[in-house]
Structures are given as C-alpha cells and as structure tokens.
Structure 1
C-alpha cells in the first residue's frame, strides 16, 4: 500500500549543528576541503564558514542543507 510522507514528519531527525564561528576564514585565504559558504555580505573582504567540507565539496553539511532544497518525497513504495 502506498503512503504519503510529509516533510514535517521527516523534520529534525538528522539535524546538523552549525559550525563554530572560530573556523571562519577570509574567502581569499580559504583552501581546499573547507566550506566556502559566505557569511554576511559578499564583498572584497568576504568571510566564509571554513568548516571541513568532505569529498571536495564546496560546502559543509550544515550549509549544504541551506543551499540545496531537499527533494520533496512522493509516495513510498
């Protein structure tokens, strides 16, 4: 039997904590494998998150959830 799943039912089961502000670095000095999510206004003195970004991705897990909208679940089979 098919069942509808609502986003509110999925909710905070896999909540991810926001990275520490101590990890932040100037965007121009951010290296590989760090989160490049811009904190504040994007300008010539931009600061990025700086948290570890696994697998060569551009954002850490916390900011990836903000940048990408999750696929809306349909019916489960």
Structure 2
C-alpha cells in the first residue's frame, strides 16, 4: 500500500532524527502507542524501535519515511 506524500513534506523528512536506542523494546512487549519497526532480524525475539507514535500509526516519523516510498509523478501503478 502506497502513502501519498506532498512535495512540501519531502524536505521535512530530512530533519527527522533517528529515535534513541534506549526506547527499544521486545516486539512481544510493545504497546499500542509505540513504533513497531523491527530493528535487525525479524525473529521470535525481535526488538522494536519503541518510539512514541501519533494518530494510531504503526511507525514513528523516522521509520515511516523508510517504510513508505513517496510517489513519483508519472509513475504507473
């Protein structure tokens, strides 16, 4: 599933910092309001980013820009 990104938002992505490693939690213990981006290999002992998320999203702003690729003009779907 692609996410639409406005051109004005592309410059904002460069200013987002990587979340602190201190926030990381095991995936099985991650709550409803933390980033579920898996750090490293996805195993039964996977570690999530753990940074706070907004609006019920699954990933923090930093990892959302990795997960979703901006659409390009003229791209055929």
Gaps of 5+ in 1: 1-9
Q: CA deviation at 1:51?
A: 0.3
Task: Considering fraction of residues, name the structure with more helix.
Answer: 1
Find the counterpart in structure 2 of residue 70 from structure 1.
70
Task: Considering fraction of residues, name the structure with more strand.
Answer: 1
Task: Encode CA deviations 1:2-61: one digit per residue, 9 max, x unaligned.
Answer: xxxxxxxx7x73221000000000000000110000000000110000001100100000
The two structures, once aligned, show a CA RMSD in angstroms of: 1.6
Find the counterpart in structure 1 of residue 59 from structure 2.
59
TM-score by length of structure 2 reads 0.76
Separation (CA, whole Å) in 2 of partners of 1:73 and 1:24: 36
Consecutive aligned runs of 4 or more in structure 1 exceeding 2 Å deviation? none
Gaps of 5+ in 2: 1-7
Higher alpha-carbon Rg: 1
- Whether 1:47 and 2:9 are equivalent positions in the alignment is no
